[in-house]
């Protein structure tokens, strides 16, 4: 009998977050213990609502959703409505979510889940700023050694930044939280822009998703059609990078990815390079490696996998 990988998805939906959540909920290899919302792409009141909308779309109304931190650890919130629209999920028909928001704070849920389960059995999958994860570590340092792994979307090195010349959005929004997480000693796998910019929503790929024949396929195609307009103009590409689903694809088929175990430090002091993930790709320092930094992916297989999983949903 295969043992399911038990995960908590920490998220700030976001069209690509939505696709990642749907992909995870369609995958029988994964047990989504809960979804925790954080402020990021849009404010918290929208990210928690969007999380519940996506869970309802998947038909998995058994999945609990928790609201977490409404702002970064020590800074004002920066959002990205220019990319994701005012709702964060512009492009799809939004209805009031049919599932309630859990009363418990997301940080408390993360802490309690890690304490109540055997060490090394819960993987954290952050798709947005790392505020909830860092706050849980600050409030309950004992949970750090209980985390199986953190697999996150964030950062960049060779692809530089998408919100400043040097910083990727998720890390830029709360660099202090990222610094706390990267210095925690927990095994970390990073899916940075270096790899996410290789998985582009071309018309051929998304036509296959739209033509799956279910509601989920149509809504995902609608979401990406809205989402890609910004990146097509910004990067001059044939489609938009599907950032966050890379985390779920890595959980399912890590063999289609390649990377290096390197040291990654987070810049928090400089206004010029705030939020930069300084990856020692060429091993030119004496700093100890602390993260598997992914640089390549089989993008065709990625989209085959995504389409296979979305086909399983309503």
* Closest to 48 (Cα-Cα) out of 87, 77, 82: 87
**CA distances for 303 relative to 56, 67, 232, 237, angstroms:** 23, 30, 19, 17
The per-residue DSSP string of 28-52 comes to TTEEEEEEEE-SSSS-HHHHHHHHH
| Residue among 117, 120, 144 at smallest CA distance from 133 | 144
Positions marked catalytic = 243
Task: Please tell me the number of Cα atoms within 13 Å of 18 on its side-chain side.
Answer: 32
Q: Which tokens sit at 19? A: 């696709």
Of 247, 239, 169, nearest to 197 by C-alpha is 239
Check whether the bond before 14 is cis (ω within 30° of 0): yes
Angle at 92 (CA atoms; ends 250, 210), nearest 5 degrees? 60
- H or E stretch covering 239: none
């Amino acid at each position: 009998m295969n043992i399911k990988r038990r995960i908590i998805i920490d998220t700030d939906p976001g069209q690509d977050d939505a696709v990642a959540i749907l992909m995870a909920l369609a995958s029988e290899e994964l047990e989504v213990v809960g979804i925790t919302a954080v402020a990021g792409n849009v404010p918290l009141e929208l990210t928690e609502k969007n999380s519940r909308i996506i869970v309802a779309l998947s038909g998995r109304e058994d999945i609990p959703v928790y609201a977490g931190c409404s702002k970064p650890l020590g800074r004002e919130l920066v959002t990205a409505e220019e990319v994701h629209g005012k709702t964060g999920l512009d492009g799809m028909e939004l209805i009031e979510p049919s599932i309630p928001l859990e009363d418990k704070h997301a940080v408390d849920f993360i802490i309690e889940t890690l304490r109540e389960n055997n060490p090394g059995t819960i993987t954290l999958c952050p798709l947005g700023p790392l505020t909830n994860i860092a706050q849980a570590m600050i409030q309950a340092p004992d949970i750090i050694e209980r985390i199986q792994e953190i697999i996150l979307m964030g950062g960049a090195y060779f692809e530089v930044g998408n919100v400043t010349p040097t910083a990727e959005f998720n890390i830029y929004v709360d660099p202090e939280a990222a610094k706390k997480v990267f210095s925690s000693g927990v095994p970390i796998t990073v899916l940075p822009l270096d790899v996410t910019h290789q998985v582009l929503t071309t018309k051929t790929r998304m036509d296959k998703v739209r033509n799956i024949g279910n509601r989920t396929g149509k809504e995902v195609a609608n979401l990406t059609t809205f989402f890609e307009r910004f990146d097509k103009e910004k990067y001059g590409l044939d489609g938009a990078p599907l950032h966050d689903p890379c985390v779920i694809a890595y959980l399912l088929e890590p063999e289609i990815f390649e990377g290096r175990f390197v040291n990654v430090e987070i810049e928090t002091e400089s206004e010029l390079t705030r939020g930069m993930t300084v990856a020692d790709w060429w091993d030119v320092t004496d700093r100890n490696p602390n993260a598997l930094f992914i640089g390549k992916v089989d993008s065709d297989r990625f989209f085959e996998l995504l389409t296979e999983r979305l086909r399983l949903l309503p």
